[in-house]
Amino acid sequence: MCAKRKILVSIVGPTAIGKTKFAIELAKKYNTEIISADSRQFYCEMEIGTAKPAQEELAAAPHHFINSHSIKEYYNVGQFEQDVLQLLDKLYQKHDVVVMVGGSGLFFKAVWEGFDEMPKVDLSLRDDLNKEFAENGLDPLLEELQEIDPKYYEQVDRYNHQRVIRALEVIRSTGKPFSEFRKGHQSKERSFENIKIGLEMDREHLFDRINQRMDLMIDQGLFEEAESLKAYKEHNALQTVGYSEIFGFMDGAYDREEAIRLLKRNSRRYAKRQMTWFKKDEEINWMQPNDLEKAIQLISKSLDA
């Protein structure tokens, strides 16, 4: 008799939509464990601004990759892929189903199908590029990217300075276009079945939830948390929505009221980018955050196959 095929249930969707609650309910249903695929929840120093699960949520089901690293460590998507695959080998000895949840598309992609291996780069190059970005903005970096690697320039999100900087650090380190390392490989064979579940809701309702979450984060001490992390503000994990706006306020670029407006606006924009990314994947089964039974039926169908 063939061994039962193991299943990875991935819960994706935009920020503030209720992915954590949905994932916990599924984990409890299948008496299993949860892997976080949120690229900022790894870092133990970043608590409020990353909307980590509350202590009672963490206690409801075993979680992995929450507070697993320090902001002082370098950790990337390739390392995450290898770490998760090793962890899944262990978890599948006890469970037929494992739940993965988060909003970082690249990290899901790495686990689902593998990721192009990138060369190691001198981390001082990243520091230099971040300083250039802070002093001169994104336009000069985009011009450099367009000149050296027009192919990737046409593909990259030109509003996402982290991706532009990532490409340029590889280019400056290797002397080769970043696009040469993006091979567009065939998906790597995985030993588990992927069930992809995407959560969605009316945009107006989602945006209200985002605004309310940001108000709660501020009440919980988001500005104070950002102050404690200011020494690391050039770190990639902090060059993101929820922190970069507050660093701008601390640097005197605008007042606190404007910082709060930007926090909410940029969080809404981030949610739209997340949906754009995930909507490209035709394998994702879309449902509402209260459609737990629909998800259970989907999973049970695969388990019974």
CB 22 within 8 A of CB 289: yes
pLDDT of residue 188: 77
Please report how the helices 139-148 and 161-174 are oriented relative to each other, as an axis angle in degrees rounded to 10. Answer: 50
Same domain, 74 and 174: no
187 falls within a domain: no
Same domain, 111 and 228: yes
Domain that holds residue 72: 6-116+192-304
CATH number for the domain that contains residue 51: 3.40.50.300
41-92 per-position pLDDT tens digit:
999 999 999 999 999 999 999 999 999 999 988 788 888 999 999 999 999 9
Place of tokens 């460590």: 73
Segment among 23-32, 73-82, 289-298 with least mean pLDDT: 73-82
Local confidence band at 187 (pLDDT 50, 70, 90 cut-offs): low
CB 31 within 8 A of CB 228: no
Task: Tell me the C-alpha to C-alpha distance, in Å, between residue 120 and each of 49, 58, 70, 74, 117.
Answer: 29, 34, 20, 12, 9
pLDDT of residue 58: 95
236 falls within a domain: yes
Query: Which of 143, 160, 181 marks a domain boundary?
Result: 181
Q: For 56-191, list the strands marked E by DSSP.
A: 63-64, 97-101
Residue 175 predicted with pLDDT over 70: yes
Instruction: Output 4 or 6, whichever has higher pLDDT.
Output: 6
pLDDT of residue 257: 97
Query: Which of 181, 205, 230 marks a domain boundary?
Result: 181
pLDDT of residue 10: 98
138 falls within a domain: yes
Residue 34 predicted with pLDDT over 60: yes
User: What's the number of domains the chain is made of?
Assistant: 2
Instruction: Output 164 or 159, whichever has higher pLDDT.
Output: 164
Same domain, 276 and 293: yes
Local confidence band at 185 (pLDDT 50, 70, 90 cut-offs): low
86-128 per-position pLDDT tens digit:
999 999 999 999 999 999 998 999 999 887 666 777 777 888 8
Same domain, 155 and 280: no
pLDDT of residue 251: 94
Q: For the chain, list the strands marked E by DSSP.
A: 6-12, 34-36, 63-64, 97-101, 192-199, 285-287
For residue 299, which amino acid is it? Answer: I
Same domain, 29 and 149: no
1 falls within a domain: no
> Cα 179 from chain centroid?
22
pLDDT of residue 183: 64
Same domain, 295 and 223: yes
Residue 20 predicted with pLDDT over 80: yes
Same domain, 221 and 101: yes
In the three-class reduction of DSSP (H, G, I as helix; E, B as strand; rest coil), residue 302 is classed as helix
CATH number for the domain that contains residue 134: 1.10.20.140
Please report how the helices 203-220 and 256-279 are oriented relative to each other, as an axis angle in degrees rounded to 10. Answer: 130
pLDDT of residue 1: 41
Same domain, 165 and 257: no
**Alpha-carbon distance 305 to 303, whole Å?**
6
Nearest to 295 by CA among 14, 1, 22, 7: 22
pLDDT of residue 184: 57
**Alpha-carbon distance 20 to 36, whole Å?**
9
pLDDT of residue 173: 86
Same domain, 92 and 236: yes
Looking at residue 280, what DSSP letter applies? T
Residue 181 predicted with pLDDT over 90: no
Nearest to 275 by CA among 283, 286, 289: 286
Segment among 60-64, 166-170, 206-210, 215-219 with least mean pLDDT: 166-170
Q: How many CA atoms lie within 13 A of 99 on its CB side?
A: 28
| Residues facing 10 on adjacent strands | 100, 196
Please tell me the pTM assigned to this model.
0.82
273 falls within a domain: yes
Looking at residue 212, what DSSP letter applies? H
Place of tokens 């892929």: 81
Same domain, 169 and 93: no
Q: Pull the structure tokens for residue 61.
A: 């089901």
pLDDT of residue 179: 82
For residues 5-18, average pLDDT: 96
Same domain, 94 and 203: yes
For residues 257-278, average pLDDT: 95
Residue 277 predicted with pLDDT over 80: yes
Please report how the helices 77-91 and 105-113 are oriented relative to each other, as an axis angle in degrees rounded to 10. Answer: 50
Looking at residue 43, what DSSP letter applies? B
Same domain, 103 and 218: yes
Query: Which of 181, 204, 219 marks a domain boundary?
Result: 181
Query: Cβ neighbours of residue 230 under 8 Å, at least 6 residues apart?
Result: 247, 250
Q: Pull the structure tokens for residue 20.
A: 């954590």
